[in-house]
Amino acid sequence: MNTVFVSAFIVAALLGIASAAEAILRARGRSSDELYQRIRSWWIMAAIFFALILSGPTGALWLFGILSYLALKEYFTMIPIRQVDRRIIFWSYLSIPFQYWWIADGWYGMVLIWIPVYLFLLLPLRQVLTGETRGFLRSTGTVHWGLMLFVYALSHLALLYTLPDREGIGGPELLIFLVILTELGDIYQYLFGKTFGRRKILPKVSPGKTVEGLLGSLIATALSAWGLSWLTPFDLPTALLAGLLISAAGFVGDVVVSMVKRDVGVKDTGTLIPGHGGIMDRIDSLTYTAPLFFHAVYYLYY
């Protein structure tokens, strides 16, 4: 657990540098309210994250359960639904406590199939009971897709947290490694894109993303993974590969959620996090990095 404290201090130091840089930019009149709010929100998110991680498994599981709920609520508010879909949406919300209960209980098999198998079979059953056939496929698919991304994929963060210790390194350390690198990957993409960005990589989906931003992020995240490898059992090549995986997967998660936003025609998914948008905007990358990183670690070390 000492390593958790150390990583909290490192994050605080990084945010301190960001705040100081913002203050200097502000003094020169080159800052913006959005940047200020963004950094402020980072402080608050980091404080909540580390406080609940340090409080133990109960706090950590509640944190991710609530994140799943808030993201799913934003998603269901955004998407087009029929009036009768209220029922399967209610069932979808009810699946969240079960998913996290299986994780707390250590029932690994059930964690992996609860949403992909059981909810996949249960939601259509509820639709049949309602009996509205028009738009059945579309709305059942849309609702289940949200469950897969914001409950199933995101819950791998909690699953990672519950991994047992191996020589003093366990779930909490791996979780912190993953979350810090995912967020760093996002920030690197933004910074490299802003500084060197020329060629747009996916102009139709996310006009802000550039080839230069992605390449910069891949390299910088890999190097950061090496720098943070004391949080993991990884040797140098594994750490570099983990960094590449997290950066690339985070990019995909980011643009997939952009795709949803383009489809329904909104810019931000919400206003819950000042300077960032909604919860969905902040956890988009994690929906891809969490399951991929978890299964890579589980395969290699457990």
Determine if 78 is a binding residue for another protein (CB under 8 A). Answer: yes
Q: Give the Cβ contact number of residue 199 at 10 Å.
A: 10
Find the Cα–Cα–Cα–Cα dihedral 155, 164, 244, 113, rounded to 10°.
-40
The encoded tokens of residue 268 equal 């931000």
Q: How far is the CB of 12 from another protein (least distance, A)?
A: 29
Q: Which residues of 148-177 are buried (b: 16+ CB within 10 A; e: fewer)?
A: bbbbbbbbbbbbbbbbeeeeebbbbbbbbb
Q: How far is the CB of 88 from another protein (least distance, A)?
A: 10
Determine if 272 is a binding residue for another protein (CB under 8 A). Answer: yes
Residues ≥6 apart with Cβ < 8 Å to 20: none
Query: Dihedral sign, CA of 282, 284, 288, 294?
Result: positive
149/174 with CB nearer another protein:
149
149/245 with CB nearer another protein:
149
Out of 45, 266, 274, 295, the only residue in the binding site for another protein (CB under 8 A) is 266
Determine if 254 is a binding residue for another protein (CB under 8 A). Answer: no
Q: Which of 291, 278, 220, 222 is nearest to 252 (CA)?
A: 291
30/82 with CB nearer another protein:
82
Determine if 265 is a binding residue for another protein (CB under 8 A). Answer: yes
Out of 89, 176, 184, 257, the only residue in the binding site for another protein (CB under 8 A) is 89
Q: How far is the CB of 142 from another protein (least distance, A)?
A: 9
Determine if 135 is a binding residue for another protein (CB under 8 A). Answer: yes
How many CA atoms does the CB half-sphere of 22 hold within 13 Å?
Answer: 15
Q: How far is the CB of 176 from another protein (least distance, A)?
A: 28
Out of 90, 107, 108, 230, the only residue in the binding site for another protein (CB under 8 A) is 90
92/210 with CB nearer another protein:
92
Q: Which of 66, 61, 67 is nearest to 283 (CA)?
A: 67
Site for another protein in 155-194 (CB under 8 A): none
Determine if 83 is a binding residue for another protein (CB under 8 A). Answer: yes
Determine if 141 is a binding residue for another protein (CB under 8 A). Answer: no
Q: Give the Cβ contact number of residue 48 at 10 Å.
A: 12
Count of residues near another protein by CB under 8 A: 26
Q: How far is the CB of 70 from another protein (least distance, A)?
A: 7
Say how far apart CA 167 and CA 29 lie, in whole Å. Answer: 50
Whether 111 and 155 have beta carbons less than 8 Å apart is answered as yes
Which residues here bind another protein, judged by CB under 8 A? 69-70, 73-74, 76-83, 86, 89-90, 93, 134-135, 138-139, 264-266, 270-272
